[in-house]
Structure 1
Amino acid sequence: MKINKLILGFALAINAIAFAQSEKKEVLFTIDDKPYYTDEFTRVYNKNIDLVKDESQKDLNQYLDLFIGYKLKINKANKLGLQNNTKYINELKSYRTQLSKNYTSDTKVTKALIEEGYNRSLKEIRASHILINVDENAAPADTLKAYHQALDIRKKALAGESFESLAVKFSQDPSAKENKGDLGYFSAFRMVYPFETAAYKTKKGDISMPVRTRFGYHLIKVVDSRENRGEVTVAHIMILKPTVTTDSPEDKQKPKSIIQDIYTKLKQGENFESLANQFSQDKNSAPRGGLLPRFASGQLSSEEFENVAFNLTTPGSYSEPFESQFGWHIVKLIEKHPIKKLEEMERELDAKIRKDDRSRLITNSLTSKLRKKYTIKRNEKLYASIKALVTDKYYEAQWASPKDINAYNDVLFKIENKEVRGSEFLGELEIQQKANLKIKPISKLVDFIYEGFVDTQLNTYYNDNLENEFPEFSNVIEEYRDGLLLFDLMEKEIWNKAKQDTLGLGNYFRANQAKYQWKNRAEVLIASSTKEDVVNKARKLLKKDKTAEAIKEELNTKEVVNIMTKQEMVEEGTENFPKNVVMKEGVSEVYKDGEFYFVNKVIKVLPAGPKTIDEVRGRVINDYQQYLEDNWVSDLNKEFKVSINQDVFERVKSAMKK
């Protein structure tokens, strides 16, 4: 699917940057009498100008044409009703929720939590635990009973009883019977926050006091502490597993056989990078000698690969062949790196905090500020009448609000211009009844629920009004809204049409056949080795029309891989075109390139000529999409009435050039 520069320029370059306007806001142009203003045009131009590589688009006259074309498409999308699409509404809502997090956080609290998380991430803790279950909303008596039970177990451990035996006997964590409470090594953000805090604050060999989490009370014994292993840079050679499911034992064993041959060549002293370049099937890393970007624990899709990489200790050393879910690998250690600096991890840590129990600390801090920002005056008479309705049946989840709630539909309190009615609080009381809260007496429970209800309403109001509070937030949301609409419109009007209009696609292909031509091609078998005499033998076998498998069988042994082969179709003038290949059937002379000797056999030559549409369908569809779009913008100019205030535009240009 093709996304053109307009979408990238106007919709996806989302940064909360407000452009200060020196000139007053004026109508720059209208589309069917709908006004578009100078401030939006100058803001978008200045924000995106560095992203535009086409110099013509930096010209203000050209940019105005692009901007109008963009707004024409948005008008078309709205005319078609794409803004009412459920998928569009949900995606916009999801993006707004994500972006709003930057405005609904207490930065001071967040910064402190980021620093704490970073400092903890420098260490990995190994701990065991014993869990005594107690519900988060349990009655005080049940909570106290669980706490004392945990205390009694701790006393037994401190008196010398084995923590592991106590875990097996008393822990209500189902896994304790098998692991004796051992949780292995973990770092920050791997456990619930209260548990993590206790683990990091408990000394090695000590047992914590009972720690309350949503699961119950824990006793934590810290067994060990070690440095975080940081990041590592490696290179690898990979042979992929078959992409097609096969029952053939030979096909299943082939990748393993190839990687073993390569491993044998490594042990014979051949160069890792050269072998990776020739034989690794990781197309991204093979041209760089198998080199991968540096990574930390948990960043790759294969734990097996990470463990092998981190277990290598000496730069330049390499592993034995091993299997991952993707295929077979040999890994070479290039360099080990210490853990990232705090400033490099801030965004990552911030994202983790928002998904963690720590986020409650941030929410509570913001709520406290909102309580000061907005004055809440409660209708005491209405509140008292609602409170009188709630009886002790609430504890058994048998309470119900009145069937006729009109008497309670007056305003209970206001947040600025938002009215919150008593009937809404009654609804909240019914919802919270399911939480099985045990606060007594019932009047205190109602007060507790009311305070939480007010907090929720405050946060909701604040979030709903971010566009009014922060102009830059409003601008970004508007850009994203337009970008989503434009994407859906392009998919409907251009991309899908280009794929489905087989007749139009065929006509376009035939009219532009000259753009889709093959150069001379050849099917080539290439044999290589670090030993010249072996390649000479291979050349003789090639001249006898021996197959690649037959050559390997004759020149290789179980212990030594002397020759490697590959057969492929190559096109003259392309990047992967082998050296010393002549576009003529036959066997080449032996030649050397780097540390390797090569011989080529050109099996078949295909002359230059036109490609079929099936051979270039993807490229033709892209070209046809662009052709349709270019003509479509002209049609939109006819469908909508565009009127430019030329005097206003001239003033904008003068102001922007200063």
Structure 2
Amino acid sequence: MPFKIKYIPLLSPFLLFSCAKPTTTSDKSQVLVVKEEEPKVVELASGGITRKELSIDLENMVKLDSGSHEEILQELLQRKLFIAEARSQGMDTTENFREQIQSHLSLAVASALEDHSEIRKLENEAYERYLKEVNASHLFVPISPYAAPADTLKLYNELLQIRNMAIQNKDFETQAKRWSKDPKTASSGGQLGWFSVFYLVYPLESAVYKVPKDSISLPVRTPAGYHLIKVNDIRKSSGMVQIQHIFKHIGPESEDKETLRKQLDSLRTEILNGLPFETAVEQHSDDFNSKPNKGILQPFGVGKTEPGFEEAVFALKKGEISMPIQSSTGLHLVKVIDRLKPLTRSQFIEQNRAKITTDSRGEYLRLKQINDFRAKNNVSFSDEALDNALKFASVRILTRNWQKPNTVLLTDPLLKINEHTITIGSFYDFVEDKQEFEKWPSENPNEIFKMLFDKFVEAEIVKYQQAQTYQQDPDLQRWMKAQEENILYTEFYTRNILEKSLQDTVALKRFYDANKSLFPVVETGNLSVMSFADEETYAKFKAMAAEPKPYKLYRGIAPILYEQNTYTLSEVDQRKLMGLLEIMEKNPGYIVEIGGHSDSKEDDRISELRIKEVVSFLVKNGLPLKRISEVNYKNSVIHDRFDWSKNQTLTFSFFSNLETDLAKTFNSKFPNAITYDNFTVSKSEFESKMNTSWGNKSGTIRLDGRVEEYTLKTKKIKGNYKDSKPEVIQKYQEALEKEWVQKLSSKFNLKYNPEELKSIINDLKKNN
């Protein structure tokens, strides 16, 4: 399949191998073919540009449609000169350049070699599995993929015996408890619960979906070890569920679990008798992540949460409120908001396309591509050479400081891919490089080297594939040349234009002093626009904004809880307050209300002392006192009628005098209903966009069905260095560009026929 990207020219053949450390090759099949050279329409001392190459470059220019012939021509020539100078300065020989080129090529070839029919097969297979849910148990015993064959066979046979006993005695759960090494499931008899597609690694998932109900699989091999799978039940997909919940944490120092359960039972009764669920969430939930969203969680399907919790939730009907449900972290009261049907095939594939090619299925696709290549090509290695190479495997690999030995073996052939030969020395280079970050399969150096050899073979096959694809695909060659030129142009421009204009402040000031006429007095404006989705949104928001200021934002941070009759701040409390200071800094319009609360059993003054302690900390750390509101509620607000310690607290609520902050609260109820932006505008831009006259003003207009409320503040910018600096930088960059173009035109003896180039541009404009 040809490579479908425009913009292009040529890199050296076997670029992949030149980017890696040197190998020895005996490929004699490469023949130099001399083609008749196409005439150049642009002459450079470093090499010219043909009409075809120029057309490809022009087709990819942003200005081709809108720019004048002269603008397009000058931009093109500047680009070619800068690239030529980048090569002259050796920017195409750096390690960073090589790595970027390698990355581009790897991604491009991987895309070109994708087996789309296999991907579609996996997509359809995944959807069919998605429509079923499986309840299964497993027994797992780890073994390295590189363990001795005798050890692997021994374990396989032992698992066959365990399987036979489990079938005969119908006691898989007992066998799993006894033999499984999975720390998460062994104690429960290997119970995995209900799950669907993507829950297990692909090889294990495939095995599960082939096992009939009430049957036990043969031993299944994965990279981690061997598994026995027992399928307990199979059913149709349950779809997804969305819930609200009230969560009570059970920690090591929490009250007795049964006491919390009774509290939630009482709370459930109140909700059933009319207490809004949202109010109960606000007053009682310990889940501070979902609390601001009224306790609502994202929709989820089977296999996404703890099995016991999940089973209880999926048993509920829409609108039903559960009895307290226990999870590993606490107790939950759950209300089902919605039950969602399974996705359609197209919806499922659209949502999970990335998973198909990146999770363990991605590894399956990668290995299939490698194996398909091996089946069609001569890939072989010398057993003797590999045995010799493995003799230098040492325990130093475990501490990741293994070094390549100085041995005559380095030049011995180890691996052959068709006519391409790779030496032991190249393998050792690979080991030295990969030892820094690879995960070892065991603590056996010999097994580690075997793993690294497998990865080395795969890496060399990928390099070979990339080189072959590159050589055989002219479109890819041209596209890679374009990427090469993009990298060189960007590097040259960054070093010689951007960095100089931003860092050489002396030269920048000198340029300004010599060209003050370029920076006259200009009038500009700061335009603030609050945009409302429609008239109804505008009316609702203005009604909210009519309330007395400061506006309550219904936002805050988690409260500070105290021991009885204490008010000092712990280290954890201080960290929480530092987080509050960050929020206040990012939101300069915020006012924080600090509410002091106490329990009826506490000293009357304790809530005030708590307030003073926190205010003192905030002021010492830079928060102005005018941005703090102190409210001493004493024991007038009951936070928890069951847990008196929850009343010994300081609460934090945000207020603001700014309508922009109020808009954020409004958007939390009606997402994206209001947008707010600040713009710097010129007189012509403002008058054409807003259809009104220039000047300091506020107003409201209707545009494209939206209501736009704006404020314009104008100012005149004098032509001094400080006020004009952004424009000075821009003009200085333009001057540097011209200076470099003039210098490089002479250096590279630039020659071209302007009329011929304009004719080429004109032809392309007509065809676009």
Asked if 1 retains the 8 angstrom alpha-carbon contact of 2:201 and 2:360, the reply is no
1:101 alignment partner, SS class = helix
User: 1:611 Cα shift?
Assistant: 8.1
1:82 alignment partner, SS class = coil
**Range that drifts further, 103-112 or 204-213:** 103-112
- Is 1:83 the counterpart of 2:88? The answer is no
Asked if 1 retains the 8 angstrom alpha-carbon contact of 2:135 and 2:233, the reply is yes
Deviations 1:491-510 (A, max 9, x none): 33344344434563796999
**Alpha-carbon spacing, 1:387–1:81, altered in 2? closer, same or farther (3 Å):** closer
2:160 & 2:525 partners in 1: Cα distance? 81
Asked if 2 retains the 8 angstrom alpha-carbon contact of 1:124 and 1:186, the reply is yes
Structure 1: give runs of 5+ residues left out of the alignment.
Answer: 1-13, 237-266, 271-288, 301-305, 318-329, 439-444, 522-527, 542-546, 585-604
Which residue number in structure 1 is paired with residue 207 of structure 2?
Answer: 198
Q: Which residue, 355, 375, 382 being the options, matches 1:368?
A: 375
Q: Give the partner amino acid of 1:514.
A: V
Which residue number in structure 2 is paired with residue 597 of structure 1?
Answer: none
Deviations 1:71-104 (A, max 9, x none): 2232333334333443333233223222221244
User: 1:126 Cα shift?
Assistant: 4.4
Which residue number in structure 1 is paired with residue 225 of structure 2?
Answer: 216
**Alpha-carbon spacing, 1:396–1:118, altered in 2? closer, same or farther (3 Å):** same
Q: Which residue, 12, 23, 37 being the options, matches 2:50?
A: 37
Asked if 1 retains the 8 angstrom alpha-carbon contact of 2:241 and 2:340, the reply is yes
1:529 & 1:175 partners in 2: Cα distance? 55
2:102 alignment partner, SS class = helix
Which residue number in structure 1 is paired with residue 488 of structure 2?
Answer: 485
1:32 alignment partner, SS class = coil
**Alpha-carbon spacing, 1:458–1:107, altered in 2? closer, same or farther (3 Å):** same
Q: How does 1:467-486 map to 2 (within 5 A)?
A: 467-486=470-489
Q: Which residue, 5, 30, 43 being the options, matches 1:16?
A: 5
Which residue number in structure 2 is paired with residue 514 of structure 1?
Answer: 522
Asked if 2 retains the 8 angstrom alpha-carbon contact of 1:195 and 1:213, the reply is yes
TM-score normalised per structure 1? 0.57
User: 1:171 Cα shift?
Assistant: 0.4
User: 1:24 Cα shift?
Assistant: 9.3
- Is 1:146 the counterpart of 2:155? The answer is yes
2:412 & 2:277 partners in 1: Cα distance? 85
Asked if 2 retains the 8 angstrom alpha-carbon contact of 1:128 and 1:183, the reply is yes
2:201 & 2:7 partners in 1: Cα distance? 39
- Is 1:136 the counterpart of 2:145? The answer is yes
Asked if 2 retains the 8 angstrom alpha-carbon contact of 1:120 and 1:188, the reply is yes
Asked if 2 retains the 8 angstrom alpha-carbon contact of 1:29 and 1:643, the reply is yes
**Alpha-carbon spacing, 1:493–1:512, altered in 2? closer, same or farther (3 Å):** farther
User: 1:60 Cα shift?
Assistant: 5.2
Which residue number in structure 2 is paired with residue 649 of structure 1?
Answer: 757
Q: How does 1:130-279 map to 2 (within 5 A)?
A: 130-178=139-187, 180-184=189-193, 186-223=195-232
Deviations 1:395-436 (A, max 9, x none): 9989x9995459x868997845x45569879999999x9554
**Alpha-carbon spacing, 1:352–1:138, altered in 2? closer, same or farther (3 Å):** closer
Deviations 1:81-135 (A, max 9, x none): 3334433332332232222212444554444344434443454544321112333
1:635 alignment partner, SS class = helix
Deviations 1:414-459 (A, max 9, x none): 845x45569879999999x955499xxxxxx9xxx99999887555
Q: Give the partner amino acid of 1:217.
A: Y
Asked if 1 retains the 8 angstrom alpha-carbon contact of 2:163 and 2:228, the reply is yes
Q: How does 1:409-558 map to 2 (within 5 A)?
A: 415=418, 418=420, 435-436=446-447, 459-502=462-505, 504=508, 511=519, 514=522, 517-518=525-526, 538=548
Structure 2: give runs of 5+ residues left out of the alignment.
Answer: 10-35, 245-274, 279-292, 305-309, 322-334, 396-403, 436-443, 530-537, 552-590, 594-628, 639-652, 662-673, 679-695, 698-710
User: 1:169 Cα shift?
Assistant: 1.5
**Alpha-carbon spacing, 1:356–1:200, altered in 2? closer, same or farther (3 Å):** same
1:203 alignment partner, SS class = coil
1:99 & 1:331 partners in 2: Cα distance? 47
Asked if 2 retains the 8 angstrom alpha-carbon contact of 1:409 and 1:421, the reply is yes
1:437 & 1:532 partners in 2: Cα distance? 69
Which residue number in structure 2 is paired with residue 634 of structure 1?
Answer: 738
Q: Which residue, 47, 68, 78 being the options, matches 1:69?
A: 78
Which residue number in structure 1 is paired with residue 343 of structure 2?
Answer: 338
User: 1:63 Cα shift?
Assistant: 2.7
Task: Tell me the C-alpha RMSD between the 2 structures.
Answer: 6.5
Which residue number in structure 1 is paired with residue 28 of structure 2?
Answer: none
User: 1:203 Cα shift?
Assistant: 3.1
1:485 & 1:61 partners in 2: Cα distance? 24
1:564 & 1:410 partners in 2: Cα distance? 72
1:82 & 1:310 partners in 2: Cα distance? 61
Instruction: State, as a whole percentage, how many aligned pairs show the same letter.
Output: 21
User: 1:356 Cα shift?
Assistant: 1.9
Which residue number in structure 2 is paired with residue 252 of structure 1?
Answer: none
Which residue number in structure 2 is paired with residue 56 of structure 1?
Answer: 66
User: 1:612 Cα shift?
Assistant: 11
Which residue number in structure 1 is paired with residue 656 of structure 2?
Answer: 566
User: 1:268 Cα shift?
Assistant: 9.2
**Alpha-carbon spacing, 1:173–1:531, altered in 2? closer, same or farther (3 Å):** closer
Q: Give the partner amino acid of 2:656.
A: K
User: 1:218 Cα shift?
Assistant: 0.6
1:104 & 1:313 partners in 2: Cα distance? 48
Q: Give the partner amino acid of 1:628.
A: Y
**Alpha-carbon spacing, 1:511–1:90, altered in 2? closer, same or farther (3 Å):** same
**Alpha-carbon spacing, 1:67–1:436, altered in 2? closer, same or farther (3 Å):** same
1:34 alignment partner, SS class = coil
Asked if 2 retains the 8 angstrom alpha-carbon contact of 1:529 and 1:564, the reply is no
1:154 alignment partner, SS class = helix
Q: Give the partner amino acid of 2:732.
A: L
1:61 & 1:632 partners in 2: Cα distance? 19
1:354 & 1:194 partners in 2: Cα distance? 9
**Alpha-carbon spacing, 1:165–1:233, altered in 2? closer, same or farther (3 Å):** closer
1:158 alignment partner, SS class = helix
1:310 & 1:340 partners in 2: Cα distance? 23
1:332 & 1:512 partners in 2: Cα distance? 62
1:297 & 1:566 partners in 2: Cα distance? 40
**Alpha-carbon spacing, 1:478–1:495, altered in 2? closer, same or farther (3 Å):** same
Asked if 2 retains the 8 angstrom alpha-carbon contact of 1:135 and 1:214, the reply is yes
Asked if 2 retains the 8 angstrom alpha-carbon contact of 1:135 and 1:216, the reply is yes
1:28 alignment partner, SS class = strand
1:191 alignment partner, SS class = coil
Deviations 1:264-293 (A, max 9, x none): xxx9999xxxxxxxxxxxxxxxxxx99xxx
1:144 alignment partner, SS class = helix
Deviations 1:298-346 (A, max 9, x none): 9x9xxxxx99x9999979x9xxxxxxxxxxxx99989978255176355
User: 1:551 Cα shift?
Assistant: 13
**Range that drifts further, 420-429 or 484-493:** 420-429
TM-score normalised per structure 2? 0.50
